[in-house]
Amino acid sequence: MPSHVLVTGADGNIGGALVDRLTASGVMVTALGLTFSAPTAAIRTITADAANEGAVADALEGVDAVVHLAAIAHPGLAPAREVFVRNTSATFTVLDRAGAAGIDRIVVAGSINAFGVPMNHHDVLPAYFPLDEHMPVDHDDAYSLSKWTDEYTARWAASRWGVDVLTLRLPLVKNRETLVQANRELLANEAEIARLGREGWSYLVLDDAIEAIVRGLVAPFTGARVALLAAETTRLPIATETLLDRYAHGVERRKRFPGRSSLVDTTSARELLGWTPRHSLDVDPELVPEVTR
């Protein structure tokens, strides 16, 4: 393991849990974020924008690896230009300064939205299932575009600085209780059920995301890599093939999906990181609304 990791976005949901996990494993952490509302276990806390070059350079002192999580994490949280410009400039700044400082490993929080279809306001569907890292893209929101652009910034950093960068395309990531509650709300909203088919009704329990990030810090790969993550089931208590018949009829199915099996191909994560998800949600069939039975 690296001895000292810079975590950006350490004031967020994933960042807070990651700081706890790293420090519990004896790794020193420098935490960078915009708003720390609670004390962290980090040895150093820096309140700054990740696009601030000087602050990032200072934060990198003594550090030997970086996890870059800082981002406006949803297109609805700010105007489009702000989402795109702040996210991509933060990523460029962190990767560029880390490369210049001689850091040789960076893990970046990407998104399952990077191919643009899930949040597209047009009536579009993925080209095929299972979703993989090679999906044809179709962007029309600034968040997805920023995550797509970040993957190219990672390629640039690998080429420019020789740094190894793993981008993890994350689906919805929350702790188990929050996911259960989110599912309860989802099951009452058929339009949202239909839309979420574009991301394969995917999710990931927080602990599994943290495990993949930690493995990304030590896995034996070089260059810029991208890996999708997801739990082994969908979020819904309905057979996957039934969901596809109902909401994605006509989309190519490249394999069979027995039971509630996931529509996300996580082969790259398994091969690169030796990672498989350990947690999945059991969903109470009684919660299934009439309309989706």
Ligand X SMILES: NC(=O)c1ccc[n+]([C@@H]2O[C@H](COP(=O)([O-])OP(=O)(O)OC[C@H]3O[C@@H](n4cnc5c(N)ncnc54)[C@H](O)[C@@H]3O)[C@@H](O)[C@H]2O)c1
Residues of this chain that interact with ligand X (CB under 6 A) are: 8-9, 11-15, 33-35, 49-51, 69-73, 86, 90, 109, 111, 170, 172-173
173/264 with CB nearer ligand X: 173
Kindly state the smallest distance separating residue 10's Cβ from ligand X, in Å: 8
Q: In sequence order, what are the residues at sequence separation of 6 or more whose Cβ sits closer than 8 angstroms to the Cβ of residue 139?
A: 116, 120, 145, 148
169, 107 Cβ separation under 8 angstroms: no
Say how far apart CA 53 and CA 161 lie, in whole Å.
17
89/242 with CB nearer ligand X: 89
Kindly state the smallest distance separating residue 12's Cβ from ligand X, in Å: 2
Kindly state the smallest distance separating residue 135's Cβ from ligand X, in Å: 15
Say how far apart CA 108 and CA 104 lie, in whole Å.
13
Q: Is the dihedral of CA 284, 228, 85, 7 positive or negative?
A: positive
Kindly state the smallest distance separating residue 9's Cβ from ligand X, in Å: 3
Kindly state the smallest distance separating residue 245's Cβ from ligand X, in Å: 27
Q: In sequence order, what are the residues at sequence separation of 6 or more whose Cβ sits closer than 8 angstroms to the Cβ of residue 62?
A: 4, 30
Say how far apart CA 168 and CA 139 lie, in whole Å.
19
88/240 with CB nearer ligand X: 88
85/239 with CB nearer ligand X: 85
109/217 with CB nearer ligand X: 109
Helices (H), 116-256: 142-161, 176-186, 190-196, 206-216, 240-247
Say how far apart CA 288 and CA 272 lie, in whole Å.
36
H or E element: which one contains 19? helix 13-24
195/288 with CB nearer ligand X: 195
Kindly state the smallest distance separating residue 77's Cβ from ligand X, in Å: 8
